[in-house]
Structure 1
Amino acid sequence: MEVNEYLDVFIEESKEHIQSLNDHLLELEKNPENIEIVNEIFRSAHTLKGMSATMGYQDLADLTHNMENVLDAVRNHKLTLNADIVDIIFNAVDALESMIIDIIDGGEGKNDVTALINKLNAIGNGKQSPSNASSQSESSTSESGNIQAELDQFELTVLQQSKEKGFKNYQVTVQLQESCLLKAARVYMIFEIFEQIGEVIKSTPTVTELEDENFEFDFTVILVTQDTTDAVEQKVMKVSEIEKVTVTELDIEQNIGEGEVESQSDSEEENDVAEETNGEKTKSKQQITSKTIRVNIDRLDALMNLFEELVTDRGRLEQIADTLGNTDLQETVERVTRISGDLQNIILNMRMVPIDQVFNRFPRMVRQLTKELNKNVDLQIVGAETELDRTVIDEIGDPLVHLIRNALDHGIETPEVRKANGKNEKGTLKLSAYHSGNHVFIEISDDGAGINRDKIINKAVSKGLTTKEQANSFTDQQAYQLIMESGFSTADKISDISGRGVGLDVVKNTIESLGGSISIDSTLHEGSTFLIKLPLTLSIISVMLTEVQEETYAIPLSSIIETAIVHKKEIMSAHNKQVIDFRGKVVPLVSLKQVFNVPGEEREEDYYSIVIIRQGDKMSGLIVDSFIGQQEVVLKSLGNYLTDIFAISGATILGDGQISLIVDTNALIK
């Protein structure tokens, strides 16, 4: 078999199974008696083993095989779970993940897992046979053998009436080969045969679970037919990738006592209803198809690039229509604008990814860190379904890791300290995400020790980051921002987790490079909150176009509070800088002409056109010559040669073909 064509599918499904294993193991640790969770873990491990063996990744298959042995002993009540066993299974999942990462990087997925396998074997105590495939088959078959006991009264009545009419009632167990890749397709073909020769009364697992491939390699049905057992077996075996078919006749008399069988007319009516119902089930089974497809991200990027060109041409069309003043042309352009706007929303939504893809790695990380730090922490996740552009999702993971590690190490105290301070011994770390306007907010909060303002200021003064006089005038939020300066750390000792002064400055730089901002709020001895504000998307943004001399500059609307016309007499001076009084606050002014050295004579006018911008609690007023208006533009990178241009985040092509630079407001406020 040529496995290369299945490699992408294998990688994607393996990542999903690894995440499922981690999630369910965390649940199992909280509820060790819940056998249903053990079954879920077993199914993921079993599926991963079959996929790995088929693809030729033997180390993966061997490790999952031994994990199965332990899990099977647990679910059959031959083994009692404890913290040590869960830790070893977690270690096995880590090893599986590292092998899959190796495969993603082009490797062969090899790893020395001998020690882990020996530990798993020792836990299993040899209670399960070496051939897990056969034992699994027996286990599944024995479970499937209970299908007759699960029949309800209605189904039993239907089977009784079928027998009286000369039909035969069979229990059919079908076992697929473990090398079978498309189990759902095989199930569909088998059910097609069942429908041709008779009627399926019950299925274990259910039809929905079979369609979702939420089963191992065997399933059982109750079949009503006129064919013999050999005929049924031969017809089903014609489908490829089937290991074996077991057909046994049911004895319905044992299940129905006297007086339970209803009158002939009623039974016939119910039989008709049953046939109708099963017909509908079959019909719905045939109609259910996957409503999602996996699309290579490169294709979405190409689609976005093409649409960005369309946005540029749309701006050009709008400008031409305004210039010519032709009514028909203007109406057509308005329609094109509406349609392209709808198309833009669809394309942007296609690129949206639930932030759960980032959040789902944190429960496992928090578990590991709390063990290392000897702390007891309850992680709460809210709003994991909140969606962000894929580009932002790719970048935001590492900053969140830094913030969570920081909260666990510096924020939440040890159980002994919390108890001494009258707090619950278990700390709370809350991670939440939500939409607001065109932004997504991510909040990391804890109920720990909070931030000590005096300690931060003393450290900042000693490092020369600020003076004592300046620090005394800082608000609490301004003082807290000092912890995000490069090399700043208040840790009393260096650990593997934090304390080297590396991390929070990287967090701030990364978030600001995404067009976002981060603010900090804290109360000493009560806790801290880090609030991250991010744009929904980075490719198409709304801007205010402004003119400085003969040049056009675009200022992102997300940073603008409002625009104003200010008389020169209203401009004051403070610390040798021009400032204005804006709603009771002193706002410094920045001239874009001076910042960007725009050539041309200074205009002699009595009024300034000012754009008020804000980042966090800081504000500035940008002086421009005139306002052009709002417009949606495509953000383009300046390329590798122009990466260090001060206060410029990119450029865009306007409708008339001119290039407009996009102002980095964060840099100007600094």
Structure 2
Amino acid sequence: MSTNQYMDLFIEESEEHLQAVNTNLLALEKDPENLPIVNEIFRSAHTLKGMAATMGFEDLTKLTHQMENVLDAIRNEQLKVTTDILNVVFDAVEFLEKMIIDISQGGDGKEDIIAIVSELEKVENGVADELAAPANSLQEETTASPLNKDVVYDDYVQNVLIQAFEEGYFVYQASITLREDCVLKRARIFMILEALEGKAEIIHALPSVEDLEEEKFDFDFTMTLTSKESTEELEETIGRISEVEKVTIQSLLEADLAPSEEPGQPSPSPAVDADAGTEEKVERPTKEESKGSKSSNIASKSIRVNIDRIDQLMRSFEELLIYRGRLEQLAKESDNKENIETLEKMTRVSNDLQNLILSMRMVPVERVFNRFPRMVRSLAQEMGKHINLKITGADTELDRTVVDQIGDPLVHLIRNSVDHGLELPDVRLERNKPATGVIQLRAYHSGNHVMIEIEDDGAGIDRDKVVQKAVSSGLISKEEGEQLPNSEVYDLLFSSGLSTADQISNVSGRGVGLDVVKTTIESLGGAITVTSTPGEGSLFTIELPLTLSIILALLVKVEEETYAISLSSIKETTIIPKSSIRKVHEQKVVNFRDSVIPIISLRETFGFPEEEQEECPAVIVQKGDKQAALLVDSLIGQEEIVIKSLGEFLTNVFAISGATILGDGKVALIIDSNALVS
């Protein structure tokens, strides 16, 4: 069987299952007695194993199988959850992630897993060696009420139950016994059904529900339920009904529904339209269908689309936008009323289309945020710190291109908070702080930007230490350091080669990191600022544009050239009289709205001869809390532009971030105002 056509689907679903395993392992560490969480982890591992076996990845299959054995021991209460055991499982997950990354890059997914498999086997074997007596007693308990093997599910019911698993529901088998002196058994059945209303859905019954309602049973019966409630809650709900002698509810796994596939045996292949390049999830019956909904054929409401196709759609729309600009110019020149009205209608439709395409490219930042809980856990153990990572706003959406590039900067900032920000537990206690430090990772929308904040309640930034390091590195003089405001001192942290670490460690100390963070964020059209209160903590704030493809820009004229400046960087436009311009330390400045801001002549910046003007049009741009006035020859107006790369032969052009094609077919360069504001 050729599996190449399913590779993208395999990689995507494997990443989803591994993320689910990571998330649930972290939840299990906080609540070690929560067996439903173990069932969720087991289910993800089991599904991943089956997929890997189908695709022929033997190492992946072998490792997930051994991980299953450990999880099986935990869910059967033969093994207690401890930090040491979870460390081994986390290590196994890390190996699995490496294999999936290798496969996604065209590799064979092979890894040296001998050591990690051996570690998992030791954990599993510890069950028999150390917990033999408890295991035996537990076995006695469980054999008293095993799953009812007489219950057989047809394909339809199995599909309904699998759908419930995928939607995050628990599936239970409830064995119920009524007292032998029970009269009106039918009434007790109705009372049980009424008690479960709103708490669980009855998917299957043995005998059938009809037989139960007609009292065609002795005193025992079995129901298969789907629910969000715990076994204890459901047992208590049913047990409260009079004349119910015994109720036992046990969790079902997807593996219990049908025989497990052996490694190497292909399972039913996912439905994929290979010609269209669009991957679609197999749609299973919903709960409404299982209850006899009139709508017997519910169409799939979601499909998996190859991201390259969305990018191609975006590129085609960008071309459409360029031609629309050309039509707008021709319509203005012809002054034809019908043409103008038609163009206005076309503009409305294309704006709707643009919003739709951009929304298709938007993905939640949880795609990046999800990697951090495990990273923080690992760093905290390595450094002997107690850390609570709180994440809010993970569902905030951002352009996929931005999300793909923001991961590494966030890694640097969070590692910085763990290492430099938060103190050791004994130090925190001495300072009347809780032993456990808190790092908050937040994301939220602000206008046409997304804000990402990393805040810790640690020691804060030592201003004197930063100044001392900057002076010794030759970045500033001692006198300058004494006069700089805190905001500018903190900005020095983003200078290349500067580190405030007292010693080099695996986490930090080499002066590489925050300068890369700033460069990456600014290359995305964003900005980063930092505030800090000594003894209370620090806050890093990142401001990012929603999208990088199509932006609103102000067109300006310099000499005979047209330039574009992103509106997201512009505070306002103004006219600056020549008489109000002053020079301070060889830098032209102007007093603007009670603040002294530098003046930057774009003529001088781009090598045009200076031209004397009594009144100079200016664009006030902002980067963080800094402002500057860009002098231009004239302001043309606002326009929606498509950002184009300058190509690989024009990299690192100062103050230019790209180009765009105007309605008249000419090329306008896009000014990188962040590079001009220092």
Q: Residue 527 of structure 1 aligns to which amino acid in structure 2?
A: G
Question: Which residue is equivalent to 1:42?
Answer: 42
- Higher mean C-alpha deviation, range 544-553 or range 465-474: 465-474
- Deviations 1:182-217, CA, capped at 9 Å, x for gaps: xxxxxxxxxxxxxxxxxxx9655589xxxxxx9524
Question: Which residue is equivalent to 2:617?
Answer: 609
- Deviations 1:373-419, CA, capped at 9 Å, x for gaps: 00000000010000110110111000000000011001000001001
Mapped to 2, the partners of 1:127 and 1:284 lie a distance apart of 51
Q: Is the 8 A contact 2:289 2:296 kept in 1?
A: no
- Higher mean C-alpha deviation, range 545-554 or range 148-157: 148-157
Question: Which residue is equivalent to 1:370?
Answer: 380
Kindly tell me: are residues 469 and 71 of structure 1, through their superposed partners in 2, closer, same or farther at Cα, counting changes over 3 Å?
A: same
Q: Which runs of 5+ in 2 are unaligned?
A: 129-138, 140-144, 153-171, 178-187, 194-204, 229-251, 259-265, 269-286
User: Is 1:510 matched with 2:510?
Assistant: no
Mapped to 2, the partners of 1:486 and 1:503 lie a distance apart of 8
Shift in Å, 1:147:
3.9
Shift in Å, 1:158:
9.7
Mapped to 2, the partners of 1:663 and 1:408 lie a distance apart of 36
User: 3-state DSSP class of the match of 2:440?
Assistant: strand
Mapped to 2, the partners of 1:554 and 1:370 lie a distance apart of 46
Shift in Å, 1:23:
0.6
Question: Which residue is equivalent to 2:200?
Answer: none
Q: Residue 30 of structure 1 aligns to which amino acid in structure 2?
A: K
User: 3-state DSSP class of the match of 2:257?
Assistant: strand
Shift in Å, 1:604:
4.8
Mapped to 2, the partners of 1:415 and 1:126 lie a distance apart of 32
Q: Residue 597 of structure 1 aligns to which amino acid in structure 2?
A: G
User: Is 1:632 matched with 2:668?
Assistant: no
What does 1:571-582 align with in structure 2 at a 5 Å threshold? 571-582=581-592
Q: Is the 8 A contact 1:203 1:219 kept in 2?
A: no
Shift in Å, 1:492:
0.8
Question: Which residue is equivalent to 1:56?
Answer: 56
Mapped to 2, the partners of 1:613 and 1:167 lie a distance apart of 81
Shift in Å, 1:143:
11
Kindly tell me: are residues 143 and 206 of structure 1, through their superposed partners in 2, closer, same or farther at Cα, counting changes over 3 Å?
A: farther
Mapped to 2, the partners of 1:28 and 1:346 lie a distance apart of 39
Mapped to 2, the partners of 1:20 and 1:648 lie a distance apart of 42
- Deviations 1:207-240, CA, capped at 9 Å, x for gaps: 9xxxxxx9524439xxxxxxxxxxxxxxxxxxx9
Shift in Å, 1:11:
1.2
- Higher mean C-alpha deviation, range 69-78 or range 440-449: 69-78
Kindly tell me: are residues 74 and 647 of structure 1, through their superposed partners in 2, closer, same or farther at Cα, counting changes over 3 Å?
A: same
User: Is 1:118 matched with 2:118?
Assistant: yes
Q: Residue 630 of structure 1 aligns to which amino acid in structure 2?
A: Q
Kindly tell me: are residues 429 and 160 of structure 1, through their superposed partners in 2, closer, same or farther at Cα, counting changes over 3 Å?
A: closer
Q: Residue 336 of structure 1 aligns to which amino acid in structure 2?
A: M
Kindly tell me: are residues 118 and 459 of structure 1, through their superposed partners in 2, closer, same or farther at Cα, counting changes over 3 Å?
A: closer
User: Is 1:488 matched with 2:514?
Assistant: no
What does 1:14-413 align with in structure 2 at a 5 Å threshold? 14-125=14-125, 147=173, 149=175, 153-154=189-190, 159=208, 162=211, 203-204=224-225, 216-219=254-257, 281-283=291-293, 286-413=296-423
Question: Which residue is equivalent to 2:456?
Answer: 446
Question: 1:534 is matched with which residue: 544, 548, 551?
Answer: 544
Mapped to 2, the partners of 1:399 and 1:462 lie a distance apart of 26
User: 3-state DSSP class of the match of 2:500?
Assistant: coil
- Deviations 1:41-91, CA, capped at 9 Å, x for gaps: 111111111112222222222222222222222212222222211111111
Question: 2:507 is matched with which residue: 497, 506, 519?
Answer: 497
Q: Residue 254 of structure 2 aligns to which amino acid in structure 1?
A: E
Mapped to 2, the partners of 1:621 and 1:509 lie a distance apart of 22
Q: How many residues align?
A: 572
Kindly tell me: are residues 605 and 102 of structure 1, through their superposed partners in 2, closer, same or farther at Cα, counting changes over 3 Å?
A: closer
Shift in Å, 1:514:
0.5
Question: Which residue is equivalent to 2:670?
Answer: 662
- Higher mean C-alpha deviation, range 347-356 or range 589-598: 589-598
**CA RMSD of the aligned region, Å?**
3.0
Q: Residue 581 of structure 1 aligns to which amino acid in structure 2?
A: N
Shift in Å, 1:105:
2.2
Q: Residue 624 of structure 2 aligns to which amino acid in structure 1?
A: G
Shift in Å, 1:490:
1.3
- Deviations 1:92-139, CA, capped at 9 Å, x for gaps: 1112222222222222222232333333233323879xxxxxx9xx98
TM-score scaled by structure 1? Answer: 0.80
Mapped to 2, the partners of 1:579 and 1:38 lie a distance apart of 64
Mapped to 2, the partners of 1:139 and 1:68 lie a distance apart of 21
Q: Residue 189 of structure 2 aligns to which amino acid in structure 1?
A: Q
- Higher mean C-alpha deviation, range 325-334 or range 290-299: 290-299
Mapped to 2, the partners of 1:58 and 1:597 lie a distance apart of 62
Shift in Å, 1:163:
8.0
Q: Which runs of 5+ in 1 are unaligned?
A: 129-134, 173-200, 208-213, 221-239, 243-276
Kindly tell me: are residues 606 and 279 of structure 1, through their superposed partners in 2, closer, same or farther at Cα, counting changes over 3 Å?
A: closer
Kindly tell me: are residues 29 and 453 of structure 1, through their superposed partners in 2, closer, same or farther at Cα, counting changes over 3 Å?
A: same
Kindly tell me: are residues 322 and 241 of structure 1, through their superposed partners in 2, closer, same or farther at Cα, counting changes over 3 Å?
A: closer
Question: Which residue is equivalent to 2:477?
Answer: 467
Mapped to 1, the partners of 2:535 and 2:414 lie a distance apart of 18
- Deviations 1:342-391, CA, capped at 9 Å, x for gaps: 11111111000100000000000000000000000000001000011011
User: 3-state DSSP class of the match of 2:657?
Assistant: strand
Q: Is the 8 A contact 1:144 1:219 kept in 2?
A: no
Kindly tell me: are residues 140 and 627 of structure 1, through their superposed partners in 2, closer, same or farther at Cα, counting changes over 3 Å?
A: farther
Question: Which residue is equivalent to 1:547?
Answer: 557
User: 3-state DSSP class of the match of 1:641?
Assistant: coil
Kindly tell me: are residues 473 and 202 of structure 1, through their superposed partners in 2, closer, same or farther at Cα, counting changes over 3 Å?
A: same
Q: Is the 8 A contact 1:411 1:446 kept in 2?
A: yes
Shift in Å, 1:140:
6.7
Kindly tell me: are residues 75 and 561 of structure 1, through their superposed partners in 2, closer, same or farther at Cα, counting changes over 3 Å?
A: same
Mapped to 1, the partners of 2:29 and 2:390 lie a distance apart of 16
Mapped to 2, the partners of 1:368 and 1:9 lie a distance apart of 30
Shift in Å, 1:300:
1.1
Shift in Å, 1:472:
2.3
Q: Residue 87 of structure 2 aligns to which amino acid in structure 1?
A: D
Question: Which residue is equivalent to 2:4?
Answer: 4
Q: Residue 638 of structure 2 aligns to which amino acid in structure 1?
A: Q
Shift in Å, 1:299:
0.9
Greater helix content: 1
Question: Which residue is equivalent to 2:607?
Answer: 597
Question: 1:568 is matched with which residue: 578, 602, 613?
Answer: 578
Shift in Å, 1:473:
2.4
Mapped to 1, the partners of 2:521 and 2:459 lie a distance apart of 25
Q: Is the 8 A contact 1:144 1:204 kept in 2?
A: no
Shift in Å, 1:617:
1.8
- Higher mean C-alpha deviation, range 352-361 or range 566-575: 566-575
User: Is 1:650 matched with 2:675?
Assistant: no
Q: Residue 6 of structure 1 aligns to which amino acid in structure 2?
A: Y
Kindly tell me: are residues 322 and 424 of structure 1, through their superposed partners in 2, closer, same or farther at Cα, counting changes over 3 Å?
A: same
Q: Is the 8 A contact 2:50 2:267 kept in 1?
A: no
Shift in Å, 1:279:
7.3
TM-score scaled by structure 2? Answer: 0.79
Question: Which residue is equivalent to 1:426?
Answer: 436
Shift in Å, 1:489:
0.8
Mapped to 2, the partners of 1:165 and 1:31 lie a distance apart of 43
Mapped to 2, the partners of 1:141 and 1:559 lie a distance apart of 67
Kindly tell me: are residues 143 and 652 of structure 1, through their superposed partners in 2, closer, same or farther at Cα, counting changes over 3 Å?
A: farther
- Higher mean C-alpha deviation, range 99-108 or range 316-325: 99-108
Shift in Å, 1:22:
0.8
